Structure 1
Amino acid sequence: MVAKITTDEDVPGQIRSLLAGGLKTEVFPRADSHENVAEIIDRLRAADEDIKALLVIAGFTDHPVEHGGMEQACGTCMYYLIHRHFCELPELAVPVEPQWSCRLWRI
């Protein structure tokens, strides 16, 4: 999964377009427990390079999501690579913007 998505130069624009176009994603429930994370990760692995499916399963939004009294944005997530604008979670490995969010957010 990682190699194709990370080398395709159209991916950032495709993601922006899908999110701006109102793609319905699974924003909730957030991945607050080990069981939730494992279930989401298993589903992401099964998506096998389908960028739209990855966005839906991971619950991506083009804006921060407030959950548990915290604003959850990619820019504050432990998986965010600030200089590359990239999510390094192996099951995602996609370009992201700091104001976006997904339900696998971690501090």
Structure 2
Amino acid sequence: MRRDEEDQLRAKIARMLADGLETRTEPFPENDRQFGELLAALRELPADDLKGKLVLAGFVDHPYGEDKMRCQECMYYLVHRKWCDLPELNLPVEPDWWCRLWRI
């Protein structure tokens, strides 16, 4: 994906979240089994199901929780590309967004 295409997709996701897309922020996977189940559910979605990925992963457009977790501190976040490198998501993201697949 070219940089301009990534920017357009990131802007589309931002609009969807800003427009009130209801996503599943809970339950947060507390262990590897729950994390794996969430990944398996994401794999079942069609590759082009952007809304499904956002909803299932629980994306929000702001830091989340008591600790104000955000993509920027997640192990899957590529800083210079502003990208989530988790294969099941593989999406452009903003550093202040969050999803329930967040990991350090």
Same fold (TM over 0.5): yes
Of 4, 21, 24 in structure 2, the residue corresponding to residue 23 of structure 1 is 21
The DSSP-based 3-state class of the residue aligned with 1:31 is: coil
Which residue number in structure 2 is paired with residue 98 of structure 1? 95
2:42 paired with 1:44: yes
2:64 paired with 1:73: no
Q: Distance in 2 between matches of 1:12 and 1:64?
A: 17
Residue-by-residue CA offset, 1:31-88 (whole Å, 9 max, x unaligned): 221121111101111112200000000000000111xx53210011010000000000
- Report the aligned-residue RMSD: 1.5
Q: Distance in 2 between matches of 1:47 and 1:101?
A: 20
Of 83, 86, 89 in structure 1, the residue corresponding to residue 83 of structure 2 is 86
Aligned length: 100
User: Could you list the runs of 4 or more consecutive aligned residues of structure 1 that deviate by over 3 angstroms after TM superposition?
Assistant: none
The DSSP-based 3-state class of the residue aligned with 1:30 is: coil
Which residue number in structure 2 is paired with residue 60 of structure 1? 59
Structure 2 length-normalised TM: 0.89
The DSSP-based 3-state class of the residue aligned with 2:92 is: coil
Structure 1 unaligned blocks of 5 or more:
1-5
Identity %: 46
Structure 1 length-normalised TM: 0.87
Structure 2 unaligned blocks of 5 or more:
none
Which residue number in structure 2 is paired with residue 3 of structure 1? none
Q: Distance in 2 between matches of 1:72 and 1:32?
A: 15
